[in-house]
């Protein structure tokens, strides 16, 4: 199929903006799937948080179908690597490894499509746009929600989720050279009239159990120093396991709200990102806004990938006519 974006003798450049949204960001896969099958290929991609993951995978040469299959086959219970919550509950090592596989271990210079990934530099207190170096590391920085993931150290600087400063990097893709900008809006759903609500679902319950087990192990290491005599350590570990055996603790805490802080952080981040994104869409020059309607789906529905992808496809098909007209200007 011929590419449709021309302007006189110069081909119009299409820039695609993929924003934040946790699991809701999986709609990006559906959007890219429709564009791909229609022979409309982005010339530039800018992404934040989950949008950075999807954009990086596509820019690395993965097809949307390939990305969807990998996400579908991901056991989301095994991407968490809990740590003592000093700077975050999750180390992020496991998810970075998953991202590295998804982007085929590429560097930005090796990507098929120019990509920029947005994060926040805590050290310099400014927004950054990664366009060189290790893609997986940059994406890991872009999705590091403060308080949930530990910050990412690159060089002498620490980085966190770009969604706190630019959840929808429209200007970034314009600066890259885009003539036509397509934005995927995975933020406030006007039909719901409110920001997403996090429900206590099976996946969160499983993460809760994993968190308890991991924290008990960390607590055991803290309470029983390694330099103590072996016989003392063995006795104390036996007592610890007898009193605080993980399965017993999980049973004792059944039905107890275990994740108030991460949920609070997520809700605060979602509210802030929604507000920033809304301002971006009001005040930025955007040619096409693709707006899925999430109904009862929210940002923690990681096991409903096929539904998010289908919503993205439906929303993109509704905007194909407008996009083609913009690309023919």
CB 171 within 8 A of CB 284: yes
DSSP string of 5-23, one letter each residue = --BTTBPPPEEEEE---GG
Q: How many distinct helices (H) and strands (E) make up the chain?
A: 12, 10
DSSP string of 174-186, one letter each residue = HHHT-SEEEEE--
- Residues 6+ away with beta carbon under 8 Å from 303: 76, 202, 203
Tokens representing residue 257 in the block:
């709200």
d(CA 115, CA 129): 10
In terms of DSSP bridges, do strands 147-149 and 88-90 run parallel, antiparallel, or are they unpaired? parallel
The residues assigned a catalytic role are: 49, 161
d(CA 82, CA 218): 10
- Residues 6+ away with beta carbon under 8 Å from 127: 118, 119, 120, 121, 162, 165, 166
């Amino acid at each position: 199929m011929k590419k449709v974006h021309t302007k006189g003798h110069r081909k119009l450049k299409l820039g695609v903006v993929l924003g934040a949204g946790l699991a809701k960001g999986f709609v990006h896969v559906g959007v890219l799937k429709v564009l791909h099958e229609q022979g409309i290929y982005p010339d530039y991609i800018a992404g934040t948080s989950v949008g950075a993951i999807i954009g990086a995978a596509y820019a690395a040469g993965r097809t949307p179908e390939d990305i969807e299959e990998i996400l579908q086959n991901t056991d989301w219970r095994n991407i968490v690597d809990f740590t003592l919550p000093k700077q975050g509950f999750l180390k992020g090592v496991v998810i970075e490894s998953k991202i590295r596989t998804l982007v085929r271990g590429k560097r930005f210079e090796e990507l098929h499509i120019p990509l920029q990934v947005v994060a926040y530099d805590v050290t310099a207190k400014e927004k950054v746009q990664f366009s060189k170096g290790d893609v997986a590391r940059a994406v890991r920085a872009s999705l590091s929600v403060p308080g949930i993931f530990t910050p990412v150290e690159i060089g002498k600087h620490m980085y966190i989720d770009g969604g706190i400063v630019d959840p929808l990097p429209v200007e970034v893709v314009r600066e890259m050279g885009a003539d036509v900008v397509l934005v995927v809006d995975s933020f406030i759903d006007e039909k719901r009239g409110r920001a997403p609500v996090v429900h206590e679902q099976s996946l969160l319950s499983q993460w809760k159990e994993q968190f308890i087990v991991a924290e008990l192990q960390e607590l055991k290491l803290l309470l029983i120093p390694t330099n103590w005599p072996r016989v003392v350590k063995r006795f104390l570990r036996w007592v610890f396991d007898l009193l605080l055996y993980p399965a017993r603790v999980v049973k004792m805490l059944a039905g107890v709200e275990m994740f108030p802080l991460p949920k609070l952080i997520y809700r605060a981040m979602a509210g802030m990102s929604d507000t920033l994104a809304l301002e971006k869409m009001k005040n930025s020059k955007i040619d096409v806004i693709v707006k899925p309607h999430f109904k009862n789906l929210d940002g923690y529905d990681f096991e409903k990938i096929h539904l998010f992808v289908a919503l993205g496809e439906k929303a993109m098909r509704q905007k194909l006519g407008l996009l083609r007209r913009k690309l023919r200007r």
